[in-house]
């Protein structure tokens, strides 16, 4: 039995330790290369480049005088000859002069060809992957809206494009007990006042009325925190510039929900009628008048 522990960080920020999952170096290599950060990705490329060339340099040195015009026993000459071979540069000063050296050069050239193709494909896939730059307010609020207690948060499109046929889905994840006394993580869909927009270009205030059928009915900050309640937001739509589906996701934990508060106003108009959106106040909230 595999007792390897894997620490996973959930979108809510919580960490979960998974035990017994099968793991392998190449099992999810492509997915890992696509999802790791750019600094880690380039760090991996640089490390692999140095390791591979150092390994071949040691092999060339072990062949003795296998490289023409290389200094005897020089690791640096062997290393830079390996760099020229792997990158198919070939300045013409150093060259293999024995059969074992030629065989090793052939193997390195083949590895360089495969490595260049894989690296090019992964870099292109990382750049070409469609993404959405959607800003979510740092806090959701619960306040009266149109005379009904409601959960509200807002989203902003941080790009100059438009997301057409945008759809947002909001769910509540919370710990609950079944009739048999077992604790489970249950998912509840939250009905929205508007879940679709034909065009999401600037901002969008998402509203969930807390009516009689709402899973949030009767909740308090303490009860939601005790149940480890998380509000999960998922946005999908079509990027009008790329003509590809993009998505964004955000999680509001119980500590990220401000009760009896409102989001600060970010929209205003100038005397000439020009509309202004002040994103500097996008994440600000303020208590409702008379709220305790």
Contact 240, 162 (CB under 8 A): yes
Give the domain-ending residue among 128, 146, 168: 128
| pLDDT tens, residue by residue, 140-196 | 999 999 999 999 999 999 887 889 999 999 999 999 888 888 889 899 999 999 999
Same domain flag for 141 and 242: yes
Q: For position 147, which CATH number holds? A: 2.60.40.1400
| pLDDT tens, residue by residue, 86-133 | 988 888 889 999 999 999 999 999 999 999 999 999 999 998 888 888
| pLDDT tens, residue by residue, 8-27 | 666 656 676 666 666 655 56
Q: How many CB atoms lie within 10 A of CB 198?
A: 9
- Quote the pLDDT of residue 103: 94
Vertex 191 angle, CA 185 and 195, to 5°: 120
Average pLDDT over residues 222-235: 93
Statement: residue 137 has pLDDT above 90: yes
Contact 266, 204 (CB under 8 A): no
- pTM of structure: 0.74
Contact 288, 261 (CB under 8 A): yes
The C-alpha R_g of the chain, in whole angstroms, comes to 29
Contact 142, 210 (CB under 8 A): yes
Q: Is residue 32 part of a domain?
A: yes
What gap in Å lies between CA 193 and CA 146, rounded to an integer?
11
Parent domain of 147: 134-287
- Quote the pLDDT of residue 2: 57
Q: Is residue 292 part of a domain?
A: no
Same domain flag for 32 and 111: yes
How many Å separate Cα 104 from the centre of its chain?
A: 40
Q: For position 35, which CATH number holds? A: 1.10.287.70
Same domain flag for 246 and 231: yes
Name the nearest CA neighbour of 131 among 13, 249, 9, 10: 249
Average pLDDT over residues 234-257: 91
């Amino acid at each position: 039995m595999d007792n390897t522990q894997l620490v996973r960080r959930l979108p809510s920020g919580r960490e979960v330790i998974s035990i017994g999952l099968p793991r392998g170096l190449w099992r999810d290599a492509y997915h890992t290369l696509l999802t790791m950060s750019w600094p880690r990705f380039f760090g991996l490329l640089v490390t692999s480049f140095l390791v591979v060339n150092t390994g071949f340099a040691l092999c060339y040195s072990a062949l003795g005088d296998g490289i023409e015009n290389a200094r005897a026993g020089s690791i640096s000459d062997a290393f830079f000859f390996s760099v020229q071979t792997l990158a198919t540069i070939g300045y013409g000063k150093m060259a293999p002069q024995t059969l074992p050296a030629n065989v090793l050069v052939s193997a390195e050239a083949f590895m360089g060809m495969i490595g260049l193709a894989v690296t090019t494909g992964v870099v292109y896939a990382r750049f070409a992957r469609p993404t959405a730059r959607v800003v979510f307010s740092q806090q959701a609020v619960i306040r009266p809206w149109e005379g009904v207690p409601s959960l509200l948060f807002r989203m902003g499109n941080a790009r100059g494009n438009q997301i057409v046929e945008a759809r947002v889905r909001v769910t509540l994840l919370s710990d609950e007990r079944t009739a048999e006394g077992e604790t489970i993580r249950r998912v509840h869909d939250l009905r929205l006042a508007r879940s679709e927009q034909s065009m999401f270009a600037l901002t969008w205030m998402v509203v969930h009325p807390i009516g009689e059928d709402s899973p949030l009915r009767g909740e308090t900050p303490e009860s939601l925190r005790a149940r480890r309640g998380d509000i999960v937001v998922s946005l999908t739509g079509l990027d009008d510039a790329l003509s590809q589906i993009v998505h964004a996701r955000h999680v509001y934990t119980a500590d990220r929900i401000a009760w009896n508060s409102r989001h600060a106003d970010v929209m205003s108009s100038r005397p000439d009628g020009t509309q202004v959106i002040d994103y500097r106040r996008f994440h600000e909230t303020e208590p409702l008048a008379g709220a305790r």
